[in-house]
Structures are given as C-alpha cells and as structure tokens.
Amino acid sequence: MLSSNKIYYDKLHALNRNIEDDGSGIRDQDHGKLFTMGYSTATDGTGFGLSIVKQVIDAHGWSVRVTDGTGGGARFEITEVEFVG
C-alpha cells in the first residue's frame, strides 16, 4: 500500500514530502540506477516512470532520494519544495 501522508515543513517554510510503500523495497545496489531512463527490474517495465519523476523534480529545483521505508518497502523523500506567497 502506498502512503503519502508524511508531509512536514522545515524552518524555511519549504514542503518536504515523503512517499513510501510497504512492498519488498529496493535493493541497495539499485538505488543509484532508479532514476535512469530505461532502467527497470520488471521484465515488462519500460523504465520511464521514475526517470520522468526525476525530470519533473529537477525542473522545479527540488531534490529526491530513495531510502528504506518504515514498513519494509521503499521511501522517496522529496525536499526543497518552496512555496511562493
């Protein structure tokens, strides 16, 4: 199950969003390849999904990293999301 309810604000009023699931997780040796266009561990995967996510994050000047989730799955931490206004 996907969980995206972990939202918090840092001292600079930037939004930090953590999205995690309770799946099997991501092997440590795959962490550096996850956002590469065409990389997939699924036999029928295209490898486009996370590379597109990374392009959007980069275009906005944000950061993303993958870690282990609290439920044993993967956790994606998106940071440096600033609000205007």
Q: Mind listing the pLDDT tens digit for each residue in 13-71?
A: 556 788 888 888 899 899 899 999 999 988 999 999 999 999 999 998 999 999 998 88
Q: pTM for the whole thing?
A: 0.74
H/E element, 75: strand 74-82
pLDDT at 45: 92
As given in the structure block, the two tokens for residue 52 are 């597109």
3-state secondary structure of 55: helix
pLDDT at residue 8 greater than cutoff 60: no
**CB atoms inside a 10 Å sphere around CB 59:** 8
As given in the structure block, the two tokens for residue 41 are 């561990």
pLDDT at residue 10 greater than cutoff 60: no
* Domains, in order of start, for the chain: 2-82 (3.30.565.10)
